[in-house]
Amino acid sequence: MSRFRRVTAYALGAAMLAASGGALAQQPRTLRIAMTASDVPTTTGMPNNGFEGMRFLGYPIFEALTLWDLSDASKPAGLRPGLAERWEQDVNDPKVWRFHLRQGVTFHDGTPFNADAVIWNMDRFFRSDAPQFEPGGSGITRARVTILASYRKIDDMTVEMTTTRVASYFPYMVVYILMTSPQSWESAGRDWARVGTLPPAGTGPFRLSRFVPRQSAELSRHDGYWDANRRARLDRILLLPMPEANTRLAALRAGQVDWIEVPPPDAIPSLRSAGFNVTTGSYPHVWPWFFQMQGANTPFGDVRVRQGLNYCVDREGLVQLLNGTAEPSVGWLKPSDPAFGNPQHRYRFDAARGRALLAEAGFNAQRPLRFRVMISTSGSGQMLPLPMNEFLQQNLREACGVQVEFEVTDWSNLLVATRTAPGSGVVANVQSLNPSSPSSDPGVMARYFLRAGTPPNGFNWPGFSDDQFEAAFTRLESARTPAEATAAYAQAHERLVDNPPWLFIVHDLNPRAMSRRVTGFTSVQSWFQDLVPVSLQ
């Protein structure tokens, strides 16, 4: 059986699971969501499966010292106080940050949240010799929090963190350090494999009430949530992995689920005609191919190859394939962003220019450019990767004579690949990766593009190294005014466009389809969504 058929068969099994869960789903205010993930994200308090894992099995259950502010859909999400009421950067040593913890918060198991719990969780992620060290969660967290040098307890309600470099954006990294109850690990016999089935205890508005490996996870409202104004309206949320888009669509139309992530674009008009709600919206997202720029086993050390491919892509044709649920990407940021800058290259579909640049680098009809891309079958922010990549494969072959092969894998494996040193392990035979990426703040730019962010310290898998980028980013980190920060941000972004480490393809418009019974949902400009006000009629 082919890999594609295996994926479809698994997805059909997931749809049968959705039907078999009918008794549970008929309980009052139980929202059934079909995820794009091929498996239930890990439930120990640091979910895998990318930001879809964080969206559904992260922030609803476990929280960080800083949290995303999802209250205003008119602008990209910023930060708000979370388990820390406030924080400040030391005026004498700007590498030092102090976080003042929120009083009166308890975990779902009734144990107190305090500085000791914070340090315990920090050791869980950042101290490999700690008894509670969790390798999987550590790998994810360290790749997102790339500049942490040290941390310590000041008093019962204050902790201090020190960074390796001055970084005004550090709170945007702290937002990814989720807190779980130390007692839940003790109750599991100090075994992380058992923690996720207890269930674990966070501090969020929902708690994990049931988990069936590879099948489903159930969240229940936590009536003791510390913010009385933000207690959930739903009784339960049932999360079901369904990686195949048409399977999710069939489950929604059959009434087996109430909400699906990423409906098939060609089904959107009929869904709307049938009375389903379909939401779209711009958010900080990029769907690229990463270029491996280092080593002898890659053609991408030559900037002309990378620039040429960016001119070979028919982005508008791909947007048409997606029925308008995406917009062309010609940089890491969108052209409307104040920090996009004024790069020399404004990429568009210009096959003649693309072929000319490739020819300058030595690739032509007699010696075509060939490379292999690792892609996923589905996943968080991955949109519809199989048909999209097939379109690109044909587009590049017809427009510029480029020969592309694919290595198809699971989304979780692709995420591991982005944190794997090039030339080793699962990436030994590929020259490009196709993970989706956030572009929400300079902290993300740091871990994807700074020299210090090469795996396993971040997501700079291409090995991007640009002196002008590094200098501009240093100015950004130490900027004293918003105007100075934006100017430096723009200069850094210009280098990403003109010396591209990625093939910039499209930005997702984040489509979701829901039953008309779902109320209270607002699509915000973030990878994460607020489930607290959502209800069912």
CB neighbours of 227 closer than 8 A, spacing ≥ 6?
205
Residue-level pLDDT at 312: 98
Backbone angles phi, psi at 33, to 5 degrees: -115, 130
User: What domains lie within the chain, and their CATH numbers?
Assistant: 1-45+204-283+511-537 (3.40.190.10), 62-189 (3.90.76.10), 285-508 (3.10.105.10)
Residue-level pLDDT at 28: 67
Which tens digits make up the pLDDT trace of 222-252?
Answer: 999 999 999 999 999 999 999 999 999 999 9
Find the radius of gyration of the CA atoms of the chain. 23
Does position 6 have pLDDT exceeding 50, yes or no? Answer: no
DSSP letter (8 states) at residue 288: E
End-to-end CA distance of the chain: 43
Q: Is 400 exposed, middle or buried (0-12, 13-18, 19+ CB in 10 A)?
A: buried
Q: Which residue has the higher pLDDT, 29 or 271?
A: 271
Q: How far lies 502's CA from each of 351, 384, 462, in Å?
A: 18, 19, 8
Which tens digits make up the pLDDT trace of 420-446?
Answer: 988 888 899 999 999 999 999 999 999
Report residue 27's pLDDT band, with 50, 70 and 90 as the boundaries. Answer: low
Percentage with pLDDT > 90 across the chain = 89
pLDDT (mean) for 31-48: 95
- Residue 398's closest CA among 317, 304, 298, 301? 317
HEC string of 443-471 equals HHHHHHHCHHHCCCCCCCCCCCCCHHHHH
- Residue 308's closest CA among 316, 317, 299? 299
Residue-level pLDDT at 456: 86
CB neighbours of 226 closer than 8 A, spacing ≥ 6?
102, 104, 105, 106, 203
Enclosing H/E stretch for 412:
helix 411-418
Which tens digits make up the pLDDT trace of 102-130?
Answer: 999 999 999 999 999 999 999 999 999 99
Mean pLDDT of the chain: 93
Which tens digits make up the pLDDT trace of 291-307?
Answer: 999 988 999 999 999 99
CB neighbours of 428 closer than 8 A, spacing ≥ 6?
none
Does position 495 have pLDDT exceeding 80, yes or no? Answer: yes
pLDDT (mean) for 45-70: 97
CA geometry: angle 192, 193, 198, nearest 5 deg: 85
Does position 19 have pLDDT exceeding 80, yes or no? Answer: no
Does position 23 have pLDDT exceeding 50, yes or no? Answer: no
Q: Is 189 exposed, middle or buried (0-12, 13-18, 19+ CB in 10 A)?
A: exposed
Q: Is 317 exposed, middle or buried (0-12, 13-18, 19+ CB in 10 A)?
A: middle
| Distance, CA of 340 to CA of 331 (rounded, Å) | 8
CA geometry: angle 236, 518, 51, nearest 5 deg: 65
- Residue 101's closest CA among 21, 19, 172, 158? 158
- Residue 134's closest CA among 180, 173, 99, 70? 180
Task: Look up tokens 């994807």; give the residue.
Answer: 448
Report residue 79's pLDDT band, with 50, 70 and 90 as the boundaries. Answer: very high
Does position 26 have pLDDT exceeding 80, yes or no? Answer: no
